[in-house]
Amino acid sequence: MASIKAVLRKNKNKDNTYPLVIRITKDRKTNFISIGHSVLLDDWNAAIGKVKKSHPNSARLNNLIAKKLAEANDKLLELETTAKDTSVRVISKAVKGAKEGTFLKQGQVYVDNLTKEGKFNRVSADSPIINRMKEFAGGDVHFSEIDSAYLRRFKAWLIGTRKVSERTAVNHFVVIRSIFNQAIASNLVDRKHYPFGKGKISIKFPDSKKFSLTEEEIEKLEKIELNVLENHSRQIFLLSFYFAGMRISDVLRLRWSDFDKGRLYYQMGKNAKIGSLKIPEKASELLETLRRPDARLVFSDLESVDLNDRYGVEFRIKSRLHEINKHLGKAAAKAGISKKTTMHISRHTFGDLAGEDVDPHILQKLYRHTSLVTTLGYQKNFIHRQTDEALDAVIGKKKRQK
């Protein structure tokens, strides 16, 4: 059983006062939590753990001590009821964290962690989401206030006031869920306040149309005469397509040393999955045109960046993607392609052309998806044979009956 008591620390301040703290003791181990105030030794009643009336602010300090003791005891009771680990370290962390159990404070911790991990794209995408929560709430908000009803009002505000799409609103929920999970893992929030899951807020992305190019359009893009910048973007797009719709972040990081004996060996940046692909003939021909003396990367876009600096690499990729998509769009227009052509279209195009002719397990390996469910969900956008045949069967049947 842990004991929680208000005491004075033994380390005296320069003004001869002693810090007021909450002492937590369990299994002969002790931890201290500062109350934020100090008093003279003569103004402290150690027997009852209170400030004497001789102190000018004794009533206020004693009320503060009582409040801090109540918070600590509540947190201890909560941990003893719900957690297996109730060591003095865990108890102290939970008590200290109670004052940090607000969304914006934990949101900042979440962003700081992403920054340390070098995840520029996530920082860039998720920081505005946290700011929108702040805008909606008019400031910070405790996790206990963010229940299902609160999130539904937030979603209605996002769509109605901020004019975001349904998918963007769901993206907000994904980030909020991540911050909730972080706070729960740090014992800052009781799981009973978790607003996601069965009977609460479920996260489901709406279907979206995925555009792709046809084989004929790919051929046009391959053959059209282009200027230097447009050709550079086309080369990146085509190499991505030839390697099963490889993400641009992986294409730009390709090293010549990744190719060996007719195969490509690389680690996907998104999920760190390692694999190998045969080099298709068209990819081999394109790679030959890209060789540069003493170049370590296939494309020069990241040559000036330290590849070990993940944050810097992601920042550079994002800025290059904007330029690449701009010139790719111009190249597609010159080829007579009216569709909005971006780098991600290469992945859609590969999936569309694969259709139902490639085993989903093989596609899972090509896409480097962790789960087959992800592959099936992605590929369903491009599988139309059964529905087309059903439609023809019904329409054809009515036509025969006439």
Residue 291 dihedral angles phi and psi, to the nearest 5°: -65, 135
Q: Give the max Cα distance, the chain.
A: 106
pLDDT at site 134 = 92
pLDDT at site 186 = 83
Each residue of 248-304: pLDDT tens digit? 989 999 999 999 999 998 877 666 667 788 999 999 999 999 999 889 999 999 988
Mean pLDDT of 72-80: 74
Each residue of 309-321: pLDDT tens digit? 888 888 899 999 9
Query: What are 50's strand-pairing partners?
Result: 45
pLDDT at site 46 = 92
Of 137 and 400, more confident: 137
pLDDT at site 178 = 96
Taking the model in full, what pTM does it have? 0.60
Contacts of 72 (CB under 8 A, 6+ apart): 4, 22, 24, 33, 91, 95
pLDDT at site 390 = 66
CATH 3.40.50.300 correct for 215-354: no
Burial class (CB in 10 A: 0-12, 13-18, 19+), 269: middle
Q: How much of the chain, in percent, has pLDDT values that exceed 90?
A: 48
Query: What are 17's strand-pairing partners?
Result: 40
pLDDT at site 44 = 95
Question: CA dihedral defined by 168, 170, 175, 181, rounded to 10 degrees?
Answer: 180
pLDDT at site 332 = 95
Of 133 and 86, more confident: 133
Name the token pair of 62. Answer: 């004693």
Each residue of 173-212: pLDDT tens digit? 999 999 999 998 887 888 888 999 988 999 888 766 677 8
Half-sphere exposure of 310 (CA within 13 A, CB side): 12
Residue whose entry in the numeric block shows the structure tokens 């099963």: 244
The residues spanned by each domain of the chain are 3-95, 103-193, 215-354
pLDDT at site 49 = 92
pLDDT above 90 (res 379) = no
Residue 221 · residue 344 · CB < 8 Å: no
Cα 280 to chain centroid, rounded:
33
Each residue of 80-109: pLDDT tens digit? 676 556 676 766 666 665 555 689 999 999
Residue 254, Cβ neighbours under 10 Å: how many? Answer: 21
Name the token pair of 345. Answer: 């279209």
Of 154 and 355, more confident: 154
Half-sphere exposure of 394 (CA within 13 A, CB side): 5
pLDDT at site 102 = 84
* Mean of the per-residue pLDDT values of the chain: 85
CATH for 103-193, among 3.40.50, 1.20.1050, 1.10.150, 1.10.600? 1.10.150
